[in-house]
C-alpha cells in the first residue's frame, strides 16, 4: 500500500512539473509578440530597419507616440466611443443573455429543446455578409450609429450555454422557497439567480467586453463618420495613412517613423483591454469551471 502511494505521489509530482514547464513556455510564447510590439513602439524607425524587430528597445525614442498624439482630439473621441460601446454593450449583452439562458435552465420549460436547437444552428450556419449588410443598412437604418456596434452581437450562443449550465446548478429548493414567499419568476431571476451567478456573469462580461473592444470589422463596414470611429478603427486608419506616407510621399529617414507608428498604435489599442483582462482573469477561471464538479 505504501509503495503504491509513493508511486502515485511520484506520478503526481512529474505531472505537475510537466504542467508548470509547459504552461511557462506557452506563457512566454504568448508574451513575446507583446514585448516585441512594445519595444518596437519605443524604437526609432532607422533602428528597426537596420536591426529588425527585437525584444529590447533600440535607439529609444518617443517619436512614434508624438506622431500618434499629435492630434489628441480624435484619439480621445475614439476612446470615448470604445468605452461607451464596450461598457453599455457589455451590460446590455450580458443581461439579455442571462434572460435567455435562465428559462432554458428550467426543466419545465416546454420550448427548451427547440430553442436550444435553434441557438446551436446559429453557431454552425451564418446568413453571410450581404444579407446582414442589407438588413442593417436598408431595413434597420443603423448605419453610422452606435446601435450597429452593440445590438447585433447580443445573445452569443456560447455565453447562453455557459449561463444555462450555471443556472442549472443552482439548487431548485431556492426557487421553490422564493415562490412560496410570493416571488414572481422575473423577481426570482433578479433577486435570487443573478446574485448567485456572479462568477459566471463576470466571465461572460469579460468575454463580451473583449469582443466589443477588439471589434473593428463592424465599424469598418457600417461606420463612415469618423466621429463614431472606435479605437480599433482609428488605429487602422492611422496605419493606412502611415503606409500611404511611406509608399507615395517618400518618407526620408529621420523625418517620420512608419513601422514604429504601427507598433505604437497597436500598443494604444491593446493595453487598456489587456489591463482589464489581467485584473479580472481570476473570474474567467472560476466562471469557466462552474458546473464542472457537482457536490
Which sequence spans correspond to the domains of the chain? 71-288
Query: CA-to-CA distance for 109 and 105, rounded, in angstroms?
Result: 8
The answer to whether the beta carbons of residues 81 and 229 sit under 8 Å apart is yes
Give Cα separations from 12 to 15, 17, 234 (angstroms): 5, 9, 50
Write phi, then psi, for 99 (nearest 5 degrees).
Answer: -65, -30
> 143-196 pLDDT, tens per residue?
999 999 999 988 888 888 888 888 888 877 777 777 777 777 788 888 888 888
Q: Under a CB-based contact definition with an 8 Å cutoff, are residues 94 and 204 in contact?
A: yes
Q: What is the largest CA-CA distance in the chain?
A: 79
The three-state DSSP-derived secondary structure of 100-123 is HHHHHCCCCCCCHHHHHHHHHHHH
User: Do 267 and 43 contact (CB within 8 A), yes or no?
Assistant: no
Whole-number pLDDT of residue 75: 82
Tell me how far apart the alpha carbons of residues 160 and 208 are, in angstroms, rounded to a whole number.
Answer: 12
Contact 170, 197 (CB under 8 A): yes
Q: How confident is the model over 67-85, as pLDDT tens digits? A: 778 767 888 898 899 999 9
Residue 60 DSSP class:
B
Distance CA 198, CA 214 (A): 24
Q: Are 144 and 225 in contact (CB under 8 A)?
A: yes
164 close to 112: Cβ distance less than 8 angstroms: no
Q: What separation in angstroms does the CA of 275 have from each of 24, 210, 238, 267? A: 20, 11, 23, 12
- C-alpha R_g of the chain: 25
| pLDDT of the chain, 295 residues: tens digit per residue | 555 555 666 667 777 888 889 989 998 998 898 899 899 888 887 888 788 888 888 888 888 888 778 767 888 898 899 999 999 999 999 999 999 999 888 888 888 888 888 888 887 877 778 888 898 999 999 999 999 999 998 888 888 888 888 888 887 777 777 777 777 778 888 888 888 888 888 888 888 988 999 888 899 999 988 889 998 888 888 777 776 766 655 544 444 456 787 788 788 888 887 877 777 777 666 655 554 444 3
- Looking at residue 190, its pLDDT comes to 83
Q: Per-residue DSSP letters for 66-85?
A: HHHGGGHHHHHHHHHHHHHH
C-alpha to C-alpha distance for 149 and 254, rounded to whole angstroms: 39
We find that the CATH architecture of domain 71-288 is Orthogonal Bundle (1.10)
CB 98 within 8 A of CB 159: no
Residue whose entry in the numeric block shows the C-alpha cell 506520478? 11
Backbone angles phi, psi at 43, to 5 degrees: -100, 155
Amino acid at each position: 500500500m505504501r509503495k503504491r502511494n509513493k508511486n502515485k505521489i511520484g506520478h503526481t509530482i512529474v505531472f505537475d512539473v510537466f504542467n508548470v514547464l509547459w504552461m511557462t513556455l506557452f506563457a512566454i510564447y504568448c508574451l513575446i509578440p507583446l514585448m516585441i510590439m512594445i519595444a518596437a513602439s519605443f524604437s526609432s524607425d532607422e533602428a528597426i530597419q537596420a536591426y529588425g524587430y527585437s525584444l529590447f528597445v533600440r535607439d529609444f525614442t518617443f517619436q512614434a507616440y508624438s506622431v500618434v498624439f499629435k492630434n489628441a482630439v480624435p484619439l480621445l473621441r475614439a476612446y470615448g466611443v470604445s468605452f461607451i460601446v464596450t461598457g453599455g454593450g457589455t451590460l446590455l449583452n450580458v443581461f439579455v443573455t442571462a434572460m435567455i439562458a435562465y428559462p432554458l435552465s428550467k426543466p419545465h420549460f416546454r420550448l427548451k429543446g427547440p430553442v436550444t436547437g435553434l441557438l446551436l444552428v446559429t453557431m454552425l450556419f451564418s446568413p453571410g455578409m450581404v444579407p446582414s449588410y442589407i438588413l442593417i443598412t436598408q431595413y434597420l437604418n443603423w448605419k453610422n450609429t452606435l446601435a450597429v456596434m452593440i445590438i447585433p452581437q447580443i445573445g452569443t450562443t456560447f455565453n447562453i450555454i455557459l449561463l444555462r449550465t450555471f443556472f442549472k446548478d443552482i439548487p431548485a429548493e431556492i426557487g421553490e422557497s422564493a415562490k412560496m414567499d410570493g416571488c414572481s419568476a422575473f423577481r426570482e431571476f433578479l433577486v435570487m439567480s443573478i446574485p448567485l451567478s456572479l462568477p459566471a456573469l463576470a466571465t461572460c462580461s469579460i468575454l463580451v467586453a473583449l469582443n466589443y473592444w477588439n471589434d473593428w470589422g463592424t465599424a469598418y463596414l457600417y461606420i463612415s463618420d469618423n466621429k463614431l470611429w472606435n479605437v480599433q478603427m482609428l488605429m487602422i486608419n492611422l496605419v493606412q495613412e502611415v503606409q500611404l506616407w511611406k509608399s507615395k510621399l517618400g518618407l526620408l529617414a529621420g523625418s517620420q517613423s512608419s513601422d514604429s507608428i504601427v507598433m505604437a498604435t497597436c500598443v494604444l489599442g491593446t493595453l487598456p483591454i489587456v489591463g482589464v483582462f489581467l485584473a479580472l482573469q481570476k473570474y474567467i477561471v472560476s466562471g469557466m469551471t462552474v458546473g464542472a464538479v457537482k457536490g
